[in-house]
Structure 1
């Protein structure tokens, strides 16, 4: 996966802005950030910048059908069309982004945050989402149908991947 893109670090917002000038857009809040990076998709040449507060979690990139690129960082999920360089959707949650789970058989992207779960389609639309009281520690997708969640308080949850319906 890491052969598909590269992430470059910049020491300051000014350095990132200088590099981005007329080349690519920057997402995130430059004023409050302490990490400034650019993401370059090697196959398409698409590039964008991100600015965020580093909390020990690195950004993650998910490329769908060589068209859409999902970028998760801080509390933000971006879905961008690589060809047109247009932002399809930007979603912010109340907790830190952990990782993506790509469920190809259902054309879905499961987004795991510290306290939240979001399921999106390839167009960047949120199908459903839910928040938890405690930190998500274990998560997996079972048989491309069910998402299993275990929180730090030992509570366990199962949801239908397509509908978000709780399974007891």
Structure 2
């Protein structure tokens, strides 16, 4: 074997060692970028990869990678949105959008009203607080506003409302 061929073989072997084997490397560094991306672009009502969810909840490095992927595809996001409340209404700014939570009335649940010029482009909202992740599909916008009922009978909607009231909650508008 020539010196050039041996050098190419050694380079190829070194690359293979650096890449590591699939399952062994995943156990060391968490889910692959492809697995995190698939989770980041999932439909709100679609199936989830529980291994990815577990990794996001338990591994801070994986959680940071996931948030970076979400931020990259989000129309607007606020890593730690500041909340202001007068007790009756909670208002938050997320990029160019305003999120307002109106209290429950006698004939309806609390409402999330999302306003912004680009509201028609939004398809989902995702909130992250601690190790909790909630994603809801958004309905069509009417006059640059989206209204979502935070019905206590729908666990995801009720939890989203509670999370959005917390100033430490990260919000991604997708």
TM range (shorter): under 0.3
Which is strand-richer, 1 or 2? Answer: 1
TM-score, normalised relative to structure 1:
0.24
Larger Rg: 2
Which is helix-richer, 1 or 2? Answer: 2
